[in-house]
Every structure is written in structure tokens, then in C-alpha cells.
């Protein structure tokens, strides 16, 4: 069961990171390079999941994705699909909660790119998309990867939003935090300690890679 729980946790965190990555790149480009109107409001909305209790985020997703919700009703009516209480719902919950951390890290990384290099590429005829993928992203990639890892490690530890919108179903939606909660409730201290150890190991590996990338980025700067 521990292996299954770890597998579900990694799948949920990986899916959440995959969903967030292109969104974080696009948002960072708009916020840092385009200076869009309503920037303050967008920044506020992006940061909101950090300020709200994760349980509130999960309840909002439950209202949105439930069979009677605006998204859930459409999916159920057209495809006969229910997202709530599935690993997909757990991944979406982890994505929403971890997105602010990833997005802000990517923004900081892009802010550190010398705009003169981008301007030089534009003067040679490169379009904005080509400049973004051949100049901005390669120069900011260590910071971007650090942001991705930060979002991934946050998704690994998500609990409150997940349990509301995805439940705590062993083998399907039960991630490591939920499994630890279950073992503590049942009084099985040995299993709880073992799961905590696995959680710490995953977090340490991810955070070590994150810190190494940040140090490498600082040396490069």
C-alpha cells in the first residue's frame, strides 16, 4: 500500500506540475515583458491561493467541478465524466495551490534576463515568440527549473484542498499526506512514521535540486 500511495502522490504532483508549467511561463511573459493592464489584479488573483486556507480552495473546486457545478455539469452532460473524487481532481487541487509558487519563481527568473539581449535579437529580425524561446527561456532556465521543482514539492505536500475535492480513497486519490492523516487517526504510529519518512525523503531530494539550481543561477548571474 505504501508503494501505491507513493505512486499516486508522484502522479498527482507530476500532473499538477505539467499543468502549471505552460501557464506559469505564459503568465510570467505577460507580467514581466508585456506589462499588461490590470497587472495588480492579476497578481492578486495569482497569489490568492497562498493566502486562502487550502480547504477553502478545495471547496471552491468542489463547487466548480461537482456534477451541479458549471464545469462538472458540462463534463458530465457531454462526456459522462465526473472529476470529483478522482486522481485528476487531486492533481487540479495540487495545481491550484502550488501555482503561485511556480509562477512567482518563473517571473523572478525572467526579470533577471538582460533586456538588451532580447532587443538585439529583435533588431536582427527575430519575432517575439522566437526571442522568448531562444533568448529568454534559455537564459532563465535554471530559475525556471527551480520554480518548477518548488511547485512540484508543494504539490507533493498538498492536503487540505485534495481531501475536499478528491477525498481520501486508498489506491485512487490517497496521497502521502492523506495516508499519514489516516494512519494517525487509526493509531498506527509505525505506519505513520514510515510514511513521514518517505515524505521527508522526497521533499529533501526535490529541495536539494531546487537549491542547487538557485545557487547555479546566482553564480551564472
**Proportion of the chain above pLDDT 70, given as a percent:** 97
For residue range 134-146, what is the model confidence (pLDDT) as tens digits?
888 888 888 899 8
Q: Which residues contact 104 (CB under 8 A, 6 or more apart)?
A: 46, 47, 147
Sequence-separated (6 or more) residues with CB below 8 Å from residue 76: 67, 82
Q: Read off the pLDDT of each residue in 59-82 and give the average, rounded to a whole number.
A: 91
**d(Cα 14, Cα 148) in Å, to the nearest integer?**
10
Q: What is the mean pLDDT of the chain?
A: 90
Residue 36's pLDDT is 76
Q: What is the mean pLDDT of residues 82-90?
A: 94
**39-59 mean pLDDT:** 91
Cell numbers for 156, please give them. 507533493
Integer Cα distance of 212 and 117 in angstroms = 26
Q: Report all structural domains of the chain as residue ranges with CATH numbers, in order of start.
A: 2-220 (1.10.3720.10)
Dihedral (C-alpha) 55, 61, 64, 69: value to the nearest 10 degrees? -70
Identify the pLDDT of residue 13: 96
Dump pLDDT digits (tens) for 158-206.
999 999 999 999 999 999 999 999 999 999 989 999 999 999 999 899 8
Cell numbers that stand for 92 in this block: 487540479
Amino acid at each position: 500500500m505504501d508503494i501505491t500511495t507513493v505512486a499516486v502522490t508522484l502522479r498527482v504532483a507530476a500532473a499538477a506540475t505539467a499543468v502549471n508549467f505552460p501557464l506559469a511561463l505564459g503568465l510570467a511573459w505577460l507580467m514581466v515583458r508585456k506589462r499588461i493592464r490590470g497587472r495588480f489584479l492579476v497578481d492578486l488573483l495569482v497569489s490568492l491561493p497562498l493566502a486562502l486556507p487550502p480547504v477553502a480552495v478545495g471547496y471552491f473546486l468542489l463547487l466548480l467541478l461537482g456534477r451541479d457545478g458549471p464545469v462538472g455539469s458540462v463534463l458530465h452532460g457531454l462526456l459522462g465524466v465526473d472529476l470529483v473524487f478522482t486522481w485528476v481532481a487531486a492533481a487540479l487541487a495540487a495545481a491550484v495551490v502550488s501555482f503561485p509558487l511556480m509562477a512567482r519563481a518563473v517571473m523572478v527568473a525572467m526579470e533577471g534576463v538582460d533586456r538588451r539581449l532580447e532587443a538585439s535579437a529583435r533588431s536582427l529580425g527575430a519575432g517575439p515568440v522566437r526571442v522568448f524561446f531562444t533568448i529568454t527561456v534559455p537564459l532563465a532556465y535554471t530559475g525556471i527549473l527551480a520554480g518548477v521543482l518548488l511547485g512540484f514539492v508543494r504539490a507533493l505536500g498538498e492536503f487540505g484542498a485534495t481531501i475536499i475535492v478528491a477525498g481520501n480513497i486508498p489506491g485512487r486519490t490517497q496521497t502521502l499526506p492523506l495516508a499519514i492523516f489516516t494512519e494517525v487517526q487509526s493509531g498506527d504510529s509505525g505506519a505513520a512514521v514510515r510514511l513521514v519518512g518517505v515524505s521527508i525523503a522526497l521533499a529533501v531530494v526535490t529541495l536539494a535540486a531546487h537549491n542547487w539550481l538557485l545557487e547555479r543561477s546566482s553564480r551564472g548571474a
